[in-house]
């Protein structure tokens, strides 16, 4: 069995991508068609697809509108063009949607979606709008927010809605409580949700995002110095306006793990973890502000042998099992058996799906019988934590692609495909991974772990 060791290796250069084309009108039209087919299969006459600034991804996926400051909602039915209800400040943003520009989506100003004390005297009521869209006593309405529930969470899980009450109440006042149900799973369930897999064009778009985030992380690691403040280090991100998927986190010293930069000065012997996250990517690394193990506290100087090395070996095994058809429980057990909680403190899923939002859902959990499928895009987000050793991380983006999807990527986005192949070659031949053919690494720092941030050329490999 290969063991993790520290070697001096120059980080590879995989190149910077050109910004891919946006998702086409045809793909958005196909998405509407797929959603309508699922509505028919599940008996829904209408879907209410809700979005706000924080929970935008389902609405953006279906029509390319992400609410700017307020809320928005699409009403989707089988026998009419979708209707998007929009607030005051998003009305001028409507042309951002290809469906709106092409006339495939209607829009109406519904001012209660706007912020407080703005003008609200030009809108029909929801009751009038819903009835005009054909919602009646016989309708079955699916509510799509950003979360669905299991029976052990709520015995009436299918009726537990995560959209605002004023919307849910308006629908239930017309067609009854039982006829308005949570339909978020149609978009987000890891086994069958629309956004649990990505298209060939989305792979190219999200690879571009992963390149930008991973290059930012590279700049941070090679730019940081002993005595810098976290604000100074954060400047290496060189943020250029790309939409953020979550706040950048800079946890050091005694700061909690999800804090952003706080003005703290980093010194040798500090634990440090940080991330950069744009839509479709979240790259994170964790280690020590150190030149070598001698900079660590006495009790942590076996960090490589006792903590980071076993993590690296367990992740290599995880990668080797990440094949199409593998059940999520196998991947869960691979991590939790190798890295016991008492020492490594891993409490979240051993990897999860990522899309426009940082966390969609995950097929990887205890006793999961969900299988890995082609098109799944994973964030390799396995987070160990120790009061002695701090953490370590190889948090990057990958896509699972069968031969047909790989062929399509090679034909339609050859540069993206070539970079993925180069990253695969690096992970296999330089890092020592046994990498299944269906794994396409999207990050420009794939699985690179530098334990000592002040000596980044020293990285973990398998030998």
Regarding whether 454 and 355 lie in a shared domain, the answer is yes
Regarding whether 401 and 450 lie in a shared domain, the answer is yes
Residue 68: the pLDDT is 87
Q: Is residue 24 part of a domain?
A: no
Regarding whether 233 and 97 lie in a shared domain, the answer is no
Helices (H), 47-125: 57-63, 98-102
pLDDT tens, residue by residue, 197-221: 999 999 999 999 999 999 999 999 9
Q: Which of 146, 161, 182 is the last residue of a domain?
A: 182
- Tokens found for residue 386: 């120790």
Domain housing 126: 45-182
Q: Is residue 390 part of a domain?
A: yes
Is the predicted pLDDT of residue 257 greater than 90, yes or no? no
Residue 255: the pLDDT is 67
List CB contacts of 363: < 8 A, sequence separation 6 or more. 190, 191, 196, 328, 353, 370, 371, 372, 376
CB atoms within 10 A of CB 295: 19
Is the predicted pLDDT of residue 253 greater than 90, yes or no? no
Regarding whether 100 and 171 lie in a shared domain, the answer is yes
Q: What is the CATH number of the domain that holds 111?
A: 3.40.350
- Tokens found for residue 126: 């929801």
With both helix axes pointing from N to C terminus, report the angle between 328-338 and 309-321 in degrees, rounded to the nearest 10: 160
Q: Is residue 31 part of a domain?
A: no
Contact 17, 211 (CB under 8 A): yes
Number of domains in the chain: 2
Contact 104, 27 (CB under 8 A): no
Q: Is residue 187 part of a domain?
A: no
Q: Which of 156, 182, 208 is the last residue of a domain?
A: 182
- Tokens found for residue 328: 């999520």
Is the predicted pLDDT of residue 256 greater than 80, yes or no? no
Residue 444: the pLDDT is 98
- Reduced to 3 states (helix: H, G, I; strand: E, B; else coil), residue 275 is strand
Rounded to whole angstroms, the Cα distance separating 440 from 33 reads 29
- 229-237: which pairs have CB atoms within 8 A and are 24 or more residues apart? 229/261, 229/263, 229/264, 229/265, 229/266, 230/261, 230/262, 230/263, 230/264, 230/265, 230/266, 231/261, 231/263, 233/261, 233/266, 233/274, 234/261, 237/276
Regarding whether 258 and 153 lie in a shared domain, the answer is no
- Tokens found for residue 220: 């941070």
Q: Is residue 454 part of a domain?
A: yes
Q: How far is CA 335 from CA 3, 45, 302, 360, 428, in A?
A: 16, 43, 21, 21, 20
Q: Which of 133, 160, 182 is the last residue of a domain?
A: 182
Regarding whether 172 and 219 lie in a shared domain, the answer is no
Regarding whether 368 and 332 lie in a shared domain, the answer is yes
Regarding whether 111 and 236 lie in a shared domain, the answer is no
Q: Is residue 229 part of a domain?
A: yes
Residue 67: the pLDDT is 94
Regarding whether 221 and 340 lie in a shared domain, the answer is yes
Q: Is residue 355 part of a domain?
A: yes
Name the pTM for this structure: 0.97
pLDDT tens, residue by residue, 360-398: 999 999 999 999 999 999 999 999 999 999 999 999 999
Q: What is the CATH number of the domain that holds 400?
A: 3.90.230.10
- Tokens found for residue 365: 């959990």
Rounded to whole angstroms, the Cα distance separating 392 from 396 reads 13
Is the predicted pLDDT of residue 145 greater than 90, yes or no? yes
Rounded to whole angstroms, the Cα distance separating 347 from 333 reads 13
Regarding whether 337 and 213 lie in a shared domain, the answer is yes
Paired residues of 8 in beta bridges:
458
Q: What radius of gyration, in Å, describes the C-alpha atoms of the chain?
A: 24
Q: Is residue 35 part of a domain?
A: no
Regarding whether 240 and 140 lie in a shared domain, the answer is no
Regarding whether 172 and 270 lie in a shared domain, the answer is no
């Amino acid at each position: 069995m290969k063991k993790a060791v520290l070697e001096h290796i120059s980080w590879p250069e995989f190149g910077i991508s050109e910004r891919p084309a946006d998702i086409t009108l045809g793909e958005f039209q196909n998405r509407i068609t797929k959603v309508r087919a699922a509505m028919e299969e599940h008996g829904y006459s209408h879907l209410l697809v809700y979005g706000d600034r924080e929970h935008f991804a389902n609405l953006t996926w279906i029509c390319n509108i992400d609410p700017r400051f307020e809320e928005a909602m699409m009403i989707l039915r089988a026998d009419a063009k979708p209707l998007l209800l929009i607030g005051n400040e998003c009305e001028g943003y409507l042309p951002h949607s290809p469906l709106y520009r092409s006339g495939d989506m209607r829009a109406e100003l519904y001012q209660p979606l706007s912020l407080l004390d703005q003008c609200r005297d030009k809108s029909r009521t929801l009751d009038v709008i819903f009835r005009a869209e054909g919602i009646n006593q016989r309708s079955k309405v699916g509510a799509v927010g950003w979360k669905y529930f299991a029976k052990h969470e709520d015995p009436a899980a299918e009726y537990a809605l995560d959209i605002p009450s004023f919307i849910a109440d308006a629908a239930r006042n017309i067609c009854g409580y039982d006829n308005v149900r949570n339909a978020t799973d149609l978009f987000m369930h890891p086994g069958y949700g629309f956004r649990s897999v990505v298209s060939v064009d989305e792979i190219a778009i999200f690879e571009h995002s992963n390149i930008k985030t991973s290059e930012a992380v590279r700049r941070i690691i090679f730019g940081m110095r002993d005595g810098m403040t976290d604000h100074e280090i954060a400047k290496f991100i060189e943020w250029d306006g790309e939409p953020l998927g979550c706040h950048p986190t800079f946890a050091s010293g005694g700061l909690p793990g999800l804090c952003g930069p706080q003005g703290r000065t980093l010194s040798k012997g500090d634990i440090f973890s940080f991330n950069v996250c744009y839509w479709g990517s979240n790259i994170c690394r964790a280690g020590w502000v150190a030149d070598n193990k001698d900079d660590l506290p006495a009790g942590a100087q076996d960090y490589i042998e006792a903590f980071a090395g076993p993590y690296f070996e367990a992740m290599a095994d995880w990668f080797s099992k990440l094949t199409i058809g593998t059940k999520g429980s196998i991947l869960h057990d691979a991590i939790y058996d190798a890295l016991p909680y008492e020492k490594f403190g891993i409490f979240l899923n051993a990897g999860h799906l990522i899309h426009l939002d940082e966390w969609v859902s995950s097929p990887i959990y205890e006793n999961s019988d969900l299988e890995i499928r082609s098109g799944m895009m994973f964030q390799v987000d396995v987070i160990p934590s120790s009061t002695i050793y701090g953490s370590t991380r190889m948090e990057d983006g990958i896509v699972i692609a069968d031969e047909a999807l790989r062929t399509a990527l090679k034909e339609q986005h050859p540069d993206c495909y070539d970079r993925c192949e180069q990253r695969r070659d690096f992970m296999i031949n330089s890092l020592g991974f046994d990498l299944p053919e269906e794994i396409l690494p999207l990050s420009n720092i794939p699985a690179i772990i530098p334990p000592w941030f002040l000596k980044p050329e020293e990285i973990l490999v398998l030998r």
